[in-house]
Amino acid sequence: MTPKDKASLLSEWFMTRGKVIVAFSGGVDSGVLAAAARKTLGTNALAITADSSTMPRRELEDAIKLAREIGIAHEVIKEDELEDSRFVENPPERCYFCRSRLAEALKRIAEARGFSTIVDGANASDLEEHRPGLKALKEQGIESPLLELGFTKKDVREIAAYFNLRVEQKPSQACLASRIPYGEIITRDRLRAVERAEDFLLSLGFSQVRVRSHGNIARIELPENEIPRAIEFRRKISEKLEALGFSYITLDLKGYRSGSMDEVLQ
């Protein structure tokens, strides 16, 4: 099946859904959904981004920019998972509480404004990972067209290329809470320290960055081929992260792994 065929299947899916809200993070998955919805439904498609304590400012700004490029109507709503003590306690099912909260907010908007469907960017590759949020989406009646159509991450990137979306090869992102080990309390200060540390590393030219916050220890994950460069910048990195409150600055020799905090669950 060609990327054009896959894009056509996605458009056909949207044709039967009436007015649609896209839960829009600005990544490749929600970007493809927003583009397909805009092409198929026009003004009957609305992208909504949740601005929360766990969303890096760089990602919020990029989501706003991408929605503008796609041409879809876009709104940003305020959501704060830190108001939910179950989320703050940071259990392995943390994402379930976050997704439930977001789904409820989107459903209120949909009901008030006559939208019949809410969609999320989950895809078939997500089934291979620890994703408690998928259960919440299903319970709340949120639809996942990429998953329903059996599209993997590779398929999604192919469709993004067909749509000429600049996020075609954008690395997968995750909320800032994913940098804190399960069982450790999530606080606004810890989230901000992680965000500022990652922003600094990205400013040095690293392509993919995770700063895992283990108490006063920062564990930096970078693509394996970029680890030698981190040694070159070791003094700058140490000084910056110490100024952010970390006492010990470490470099993970395994390199960047999506969802590395989930390794303890296996």
Q: Are 192 and 52 in contact (CB under 8 A)?
A: no
pLDDT at 16 over 80: yes
* 8 lies in the same domain as 128: yes
Does 168 map to a domain?
no
Determine the structural domain holding residue 18 and report its residue range.
3-162
Q: How many domains does the chain have?
A: 2
Mean pLDDT of 57-81: 97
pLDDT at 132: 86
**Among 40-44, 148-152, 260-264, the least confident range:** 260-264
* 69 lies in the same domain as 119: yes
pLDDT at 265 over 80: no
Write the CATH number for 256.
Answer: 3.30.70.2210
**Helix (H) / strand (E) containing 46:** strand 45-51
Does 202 map to a domain?
yes
Does 229 map to a domain?
yes
**Among 12-26, 55-69, 131-145, the least confident range:** 131-145
Model confidence pLDDT, tens digit, residues 219-241: 999 999 999 999 999 999 999 99
* 253 lies in the same domain as 213: yes
220 DSSP β-pair partners: 211, 251
Residue type, 111: E
* 89 lies in the same domain as 221: no
Model confidence pLDDT, tens digit, residues 72-99: 999 999 999 999 999 999 999 999 999 9
Q: Are 111 and 42 in contact (CB under 8 A)?
A: no
pLDDT at 52: 95
pLDDT at 261: 58
pLDDT at 56 over 80: yes
Q: How many CB atoms lie within 10 A of CB 217?
A: 12
Q: What is the mean pLDDT of the chain?
A: 94
* 119 lies in the same domain as 80: yes
Domain edge (last residue) among 129, 162, 195 = 162
Does 169 map to a domain?
no
Write the CATH number for 48.
Answer: 3.40.50.620
Does 253 map to a domain?
yes
* 132 lies in the same domain as 212: no
Residue among 121, 112, 44, 43 at smallest CA distance from 77: 112
pLDDT at 99: 93
**Among 18-22, 92-96, 164-168, 262-266, the least confident range:** 262-266
* 115 lies in the same domain as 197: no
**Helix (H) / strand (E) containing 49:** strand 45-51
User: How far is the C-alpha of 126 from the C-alpha of 185, rounded, in Å?
Assistant: 26
Query: Around 126, how many Cα atoms within 13 Å sit in the side-chain half-sphere?
Result: 21
Q: Are 76 and 24 in contact (CB under 8 A)?
A: no
User: How far is the C-alpha of 117 from the C-alpha of 213, rounded, in Å?
Assistant: 37
How would you class 225 by CB atoms within 10 Å of its CB: exposed for 0-12, middle for 13-18, buried for 19 or more? exposed
Does 42 map to a domain?
yes
* 34 lies in the same domain as 70: yes
* 62 lies in the same domain as 145: yes
pLDDT at 205 over 90: yes
Backbone angles phi, psi at 120, to 5 degrees: -125, 155
Mean pLDDT of 61-80: 97
Q: Are 63 and 49 in contact (CB under 8 A)?
A: yes
Domain edge (last residue) among 102, 128, 162 = 162
How would you class 214 by CB atoms within 10 Å of its CB: exposed for 0-12, middle for 13-18, buried for 19 or more? middle
Task: List all residues 6 or more positions away from 226 whose beta carbon is below 8 Å from its beta carbon.
Answer: 206, 207, 208
User: How far is the C-alpha of 10 from the C-alpha of 116, rounded, in Å?
Assistant: 17
* 46 lies in the same domain as 144: yes
pLDDT bin (cut points 50, 70, 90) of residue 244 is very high
Q: 3-class SS at 8?
A: helix
* 23 lies in the same domain as 139: yes
pLDDT at 264: 54
Does 113 map to a domain?
yes
Domain edge (last residue) among 97, 131, 162 = 162
Model confidence pLDDT, tens digit, residues 101-158: 999 999 999 999 999 999 999 999 988 777 888 898 989 999 999 999 999 999 999 9
Does 13 map to a domain?
yes
